[in-house]
Amino acid sequence: MLQTLDRGLKRVLDFSASLFGLIVLSPVLLVIAYLVRRSSPGGALFLQERVGYNEKPFTCIKFRTMAAGTPNVGSHDAAEAWITPIGRTLRAYKLDELPQLINVLRGDMSLVGPRPCLPTQSGVIAARRAKNVFSIRPGITGLAQLSGIDMSTPEALAKADAEYIRTAGLWRDLKLILGSIAGKGSGDAATR
């Protein structure tokens, strides 16, 4: 399990990396925001309530990949038709996740950890609660996501999340970040 000192170091590294990432990637973020706004009606950002550390709700920030006005559901419950053309590209390269660096900077999230779920995903919440998964901040990427486990399988998800917590460390996090950048894993995908 993550020790108190390790958590403090992880927070310092998360804060530093997210600040650096936001500064370096700001031109890319602006271009993506412009493309999202230009490609379909609605704002560039998608704000959604998620369940975070100690089950505290927070607002997760992402680039909008679906048409404005689509139902507020988990990705595995979303219709493929709801995804905008630019949204498909953003999802394929995980670029829709970049605004979550703001969540990391604010302390809502970590770079690596269990992906945050919706407050309506009671099965995921119950399974995670049973395995003490809410004892750490959720992450932009995580072991379950890179293993292809999504929110549609709450028990498998909670098991992978608990495994991450048990084996977490700087080098493990670095491997998971590099795996995400390399395009490994699938996370939650629209399937219907």
Least confident of 70-74, 93-97, 99-103, 170-174: 70-74
Which tens digit of pLDDT belongs to each residue from 120-179?
A: 999 999 999 999 999 999 999 999 999 999 999 999 999 999 999 999 888 999 999 999
Radius of gyration of the chain (CA): 16
Nearest-angstrom CA–CA distance, 26 and 98 = 10
Q: How confident is the model at residue 191 (pLDDT cuts 50, 70, 90)?
A: very low
Is the distance from CB of 180 to CB of 145 less than 8 angstroms?
yes
Q: How confident is the model at residue 53 (pLDDT cuts 50, 70, 90)?
A: very high
Bigger pLDDT: 30 vs 6: 30
Residue closest to 134 by CA, chosen among 101, 168, 161: 161
Can you tell me the mean pLDDT for 2-21? 84
Which tens digit of pLDDT belongs to each residue from 145-154?
A: 999 999 999 9
Can you tell me the mean pLDDT for 88-105? 95
Contacts of 14 (CB under 8 A, 6+ apart): 104, 110, 111, 137
Q: At residue 192, what is the residue type? A: R
